[in-house]
C-alpha cells in the first residue's frame, strides 16, 4: 500500500547516538488509513442497517429502570473529555495545527489515569465485574437470534475489552513518556535506552491510533437511532421497560426502578 | 556518525526576480533551501545533517537588497549584508542598537557576506542537533542536551519544552527591542509578523526557530520610527570576542521621559529559544531614573522564572549583570 509517493510504514526509525538504526515510533501515515478504514466500516454498517427490516422501536415511555449510576456516568464523561483532550493535543500538532500542547496533554493524561484507576477499583470491588466480562456464553448470543444479552451485549463487552486494553497500553506508555519530560515534580532523566524509548513511543502511538478507530465506531453506534437510548442512559441514567424487554433478557439483568 | 569530505550534489537556482524565487520556494516546499550569505548552510549540507534537493540563492534579487524609507520608519531588505547595516548612516543615527548588534555578529569576514535575513533565520547552535542526531528538534523523541551527562553550558534558561536550544541571532534581540516587523512573502501573498512573534519556541514549533513556513521567504524587516534615536544599550558576552555566539546578550531600547524611563523594551539573547523579553523589568523600570540604584533594584528580576540545567546556571547572574549595566545609565 502506498501513501503519496512512498509506501505506508507502520513504524518510523531513527539513528541513535551511536549511529545505529532504532525504532522512533509509529508512522502517523497510519492515522489516515485508520480513519478511512473506520469510515468504510461505518458506511458498510449503515447500508446494512438501512436494508435490514426492523420492527417498531421500543417506547421510551413508561417505567424507568436504572442502567448507569451517576458515578459511572460521571466516570464515562470525564474519561471522554480527557480522551478527547488527549487526542486533540496529541494529534493536531502532528497534522499541522501547532500550539503549545504538551502541558495540556500530560495534565489530561493524569486525569485519565486517575479516573481509570478509580473505575477499576469501583468495578472490581463494588460492581458486578462479570456483567462486562466476555465469555463462551457471549458466542451463543452472537450466533442465536433468540437469546438476548444481560446488561451488556457481546458487542458492548468486546468494545469495552478492546478500549480497556488500549487505554491501559496508552496510559502505561504515557506514564513512561511522562517520566522523560520536565514536570513541576521532577526533571527529566533521559534514563531510558533509545531502543526502549522508541518502543514506548511506538506502543503509545499505535494504541492511540487503534483507539481513534474504535472511538469512531463507538460514537457512530452511540448515535445510531436504535442505539440512542443507550446514549441517553449514559446521560440520564435510565432506560424504559420497553427498551429493556426489546434489547435485554430481564432474567439475566434485573435493573432497579428509578423515580420518574 | 560518518563525516564527509565533499559537498553533496544539490541543484542551485539563482532567480533575479522575487516572483520567480517565490514560485521556486512554493514548488520545492520543504525540499528547498533558501540561501543568503551561506554561513549557516554549507556546514549542514556537508555533514548531510540537512539534505535539501535544491538551493534558492536569493542574492541576485535586487528587491531584497537595500535600506530605504518605509511608511513609518525604515525598511531593510533581507538580503542586505550585515556590513551594509553596520555602515549605514541612518541606521547608526536612528537605530544604533541594530548597528551595534550587527557589529557583534561572528567575524568581519562573515559580516561581509552574511545577510540580515540569514542571521535572523539561522538554526540553533545546539551541537547535539547540529551533529545530525535525531533529537526532538530533528523530529526524534529525545533531547541529548538535557540529561545528567549532557554538556549544556550554552543552552536555555527559559521556555524549554523538550528542546533546550537557544536562538543564536544577535540581530534578533535588537529587532525585538526595536519592535520591528518581518515581511514574509509567498505565492499566496504577504504576511507582516511582529519580530516578537517571528521567533518561535519549542512548545509550539519544536522543529522550527521562526514562523517561516516552507514556501515562504523573509523579504524585508521594517523598524518603526517610534524608537528612532532613543536610548539604546547592547552588550554581548561570548567566550571569544569574535566569531562566537552569545552566551547571553542584552538589547535595550529605552524611551526617556525627561530624566525618567518611560516605555522600554529589554530583550535578552542566548537564554531562550526566542529572544527573551524582560517584561517585568520593563514594567518596573517605568518612572525610574537610569541609575545605579535602579539597576541594582531591577537586575534580580531578570532571572526570575529561570529553570537552569546542569551547566548553565552561570547565565542567571550574567543576565542580571547585563540588565544592571543596561540600566545604570
pLDDT tens for B63-82 read 999 999 999 999 999 999 99
Q: What is the CATH number of the domain that holds B289?
A: 3.30.465.10
In a domain, B142, yes or no: no
Query: Using CB atoms within 10 A of its CB, is residue B190 exposed (0-12), middle (13-18) or buried (19+)?
Result: exposed
Residue A71: pLDDT over 80: yes
Average pLDDT rounded to a whole number, residues A193-221: 97
Confidence of residue A258 (pLDDT cuts 50, 70, 90): confident
User: What is the extent of the structural domain holding B243?
Assistant: 62-121+165-327
Q: Record the pTM.
A: 0.90
CA dist A75 to A82, A172, A258, Å?
A: 11, 19, 20
Q: How many domains does chain B have?
A: 1
Mean pLDDT by 10 residues, chain B (329 residues): 84 98 98 96 92 97 97 96 98 98 98 98 96 94 91 96 97 98 98 98 96 97 98 98 96 97 98 98 98 98 96 98 96
**Cβ-defined contact of A181 to B160 (cutoff 8 Å):** no
User: For A249, left (φ over 0), alpha (ψ -120 to 50), or beta?
Assistant: beta
Contact assessment for residue B277 and residue B292, using Cβ atoms and an 8 Å cutoff: no
Of A19, A101, A201, the CB nearest to B141: A201
Give CA–CA dist A245/A54, Å, rounded.
15
pLDDT tens for B158-178 read 999 999 999 999 999 999 999
This model of the complex carries an ipTM of 0.88
**Cβ-defined contact of B147 to A17 (cutoff 8 Å):** no
Give CA–CA dist A212/B103, Å, rounded.
54
Helices (H), A52-101: 70-91
In a domain, B1, yes or no: no
In a domain, B278, yes or no: yes
The number of C-beta contacts closer than 8 angstroms across A and B is 48
In terms of residues, how long is chain B?
A: 329
Give CA–CA dist B262/B43, Å, rounded.
44
In a domain, B152, yes or no: no
**Cβ-defined contact of A15 to B134 (cutoff 8 Å):** yes
In this structure, which long-range contacts are made by residues B82-91, counting pairs with CB atoms below 8 Å and at least 24 apart in sequence?
B82/B110, B82/B111, B82/B112, B82/B114, B82/B115, B82/B116, B82/B119, B82/B171, B83/B111, B83/B112, B85/B116, B85/B171, B86/B111, B91/B67
Identify the pLDDT of residue B224: 98
**Cβ-defined contact of A25 to B141 (cutoff 8 Å):** yes
CA distance B1 to chain A (A): 6
Interface of B with A in 157-176 (CB under 8 A): 160-162
Chain B within 8 Å of A182 (Cβ-Cβ)?
yes
Determine the residue among A13, A15, A191 to mutate to test chain B binding: the one whose Cβ has the most chain B Cβ atoms within 10 Å.
A15
Identify the pLDDT of residue A140: 80
> How many percent of chain A have pLDDT more than 70?
97
Chain B within 8 Å of A94 (Cβ-Cβ)?
no
Of A19, A24, A190, the CB nearest to B140: A24
CA distance B106 to chain A (A): 29
Distant-in-sequence, close-in-space partners of B29: CB < 8 Å, separation ≥ 6? B214, B215
Identify the pLDDT of residue B24: 98
In a domain, B135, yes or no: no
**Which of B35, B80, B32, B52 minimizes the C-alpha distance to B213?**
B32
**Cβ-defined contact of A190 to B150 (cutoff 8 Å):** yes
In a domain, B23, yes or no: no
How far does chain A reach from its first CA to its final CA, in angstroms?
55
Confidence of residue A257 (pLDDT cuts 50, 70, 90): confident
CA distance B161 to chain A (A): 8
Q: What are the helix and strand counts (H, E) for chain A?
A: 8, 6
In a domain, B171, yes or no: yes
Residue A106: pLDDT over 70: yes
In a domain, B169, yes or no: yes
Amino acid at each position: 500500500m502506498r501513501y503519496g509517493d512512498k509506501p505506508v510504514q507502520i513504524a518510523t526509525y531513527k539513528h541513535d547516538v551511536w549511529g545505529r538504526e532504532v525504532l522512533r515510533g509509529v508512522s502517523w501515515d497510519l492515522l489516515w488509513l485508520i480513519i478511512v478504514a473506520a469510515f468504510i466500516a461505518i458506511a458498510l454498517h449503515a447500508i446494512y442497517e438501512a436494508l435490514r427490516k426492523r420492527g417498531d422501536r421500543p417506547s421510551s415511555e413508561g417505567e424507568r429502570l436504572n442502567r448507569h449510576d451517576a458515578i459511572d456516568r460521571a466516570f464515562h464523561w470525564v474519561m471522554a473529555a480527557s480522551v478527547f483532550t488527549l487526542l486533540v493535543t496529541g494529534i493536531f500538532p502532528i497534522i499541522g495545527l501547532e500550539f503549545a500542547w504538551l502541558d495540556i496533554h500530560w495534565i489530561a493524561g493524569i486525569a485519565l489515569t486517575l479516573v481509570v484507576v478509580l473505575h477499576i477499583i469501583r468495578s472490581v470491588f463494588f460492581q458486578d465485574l462479570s456483567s462486562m466480562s466476555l465469555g463462551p456464553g457471549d458466542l451463543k448470543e452472537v450466533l442465536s437470534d433468540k437469546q438476548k444479552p444481560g446488561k451488556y451485549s457481546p458487542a458492548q463487552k468486546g468494545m469495552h475489552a478492546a478500549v480497556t486494553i488500549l487505554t491501559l497500553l496508552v496510559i502505561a506508555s504515557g506514564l513512561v513518556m511522562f517520566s522523560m519530560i520536565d514536570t513541576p515534580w521532577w526533571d527529566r532523566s533521559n534514563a531510558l535506552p533509545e531502543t526502549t524509548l522508541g518502543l514506548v513511543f511506538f506502543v503509545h502511538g499505535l494504541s492511540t491510533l487503534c483507539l481513534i478507530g474504535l472511538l469512531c465506531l463507538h460514537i457512530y453506534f452511540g448515535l445510531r437511532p436504535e442505539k440512542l437510548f443507550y446514549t441517553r442512559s449514559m446521560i440520564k441514567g435510565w432506560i424504559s421497560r420497553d427498551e429493556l424487554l426489546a434489547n435485554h433478557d430481564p432474567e439475566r439483568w434485573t435493573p432497579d426502578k428509578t423515580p420518574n | 556518525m560518518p563525516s564527509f569530505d565533499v559537498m553533496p550534489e544539490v541543484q542551485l537556482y539563482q532567480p533575479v526576480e522575487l516572483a520567480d524565487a517565490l514560485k521556486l520556494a512554493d514548488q520545492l516546499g520543504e525540499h528547498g533551501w533558501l540561501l543568503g550569505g551561506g554561513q549557516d548552510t554549507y556546514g549542514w549540507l556537508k555533514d548531510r545533517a540537512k539534505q535539501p534537493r535544491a538551493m534558492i540563492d536569493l542574492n541576485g534579487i535586487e528587491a531584497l537588497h537595500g535600506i530605504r524609507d518605509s511608511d513609518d520608519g525604515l525598511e531593510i531588505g533581507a538580503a542586505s549584508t550585515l556590513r551594509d547595516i553596520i555602515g549605514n548612516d541612518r541606521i547608526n543615527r536612528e537605530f544604533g542598537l541594530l548597528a551595534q548588534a550587527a557589529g557583534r555578529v561572528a567575524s568581519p569576514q562573515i559580516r561581509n557576506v552574511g545577510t540580515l535575513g540569514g542571521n535572523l533565520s539561522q538554526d540553533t547552535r545546539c551541537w547535539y542537533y547540529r551533529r545530525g542526531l535525531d533529537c526532538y528538534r530533528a523530529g526524534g523523541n529525545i533531547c541529548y542536551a538535557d540529561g545528567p551527562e549532557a554538556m549544556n553550558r550554552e543552552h536555555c534558561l527559559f521556555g524549554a519544552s523538550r528542546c533546550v536550544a537557544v536562538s543564536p541571532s544577535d540581530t534578533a534581540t535588537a529587532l525585538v527591542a526595536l519592535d520591528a516587523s518581518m515581511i514574509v512573502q509567498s505565492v499566496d501573498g504577504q504576511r507582516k509578523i511582529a519580530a516578537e512573534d517571528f521567533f518561535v519556541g519549542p512548545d509550539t514549533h519544536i522543529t522550527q526557530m521562526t514562523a517561516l513556513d516552507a514556501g515562504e521567504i523573509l523579504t524585508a524587516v521594517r523598524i518603526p520610527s517610534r524608537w528612532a534615536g532613543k536610548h539604546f544599550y547592547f552588550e554581548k558576552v561570548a567566550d571569544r570576542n569574535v566569531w562566537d555566539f552569545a552566551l547571553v546578550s542584552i538589547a535595550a531600547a529605552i524611551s526617556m521621559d525627561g530624566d525618567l524611563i518611560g516605555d522600554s523594551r529589554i530583550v535578552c539573547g542566548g537564554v531562550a529559544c526566542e529572544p527573551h523579553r524582560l517584561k517585568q523589568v520593563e514594567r518596573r523600570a517605568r518612572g525610574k531614573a537610569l541609575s545605579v540604584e535602579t539597576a541594582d533594584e531591577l537586575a534580580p528580576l531578570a532571572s526570575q522564572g529561570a529553570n537552569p540545567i546542569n551547566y548553565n546556571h552561570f547565565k542567571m547572574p550574567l543576565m542580571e549583570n547585563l540588565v544592571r549595566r543596561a540600566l545604570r545609565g
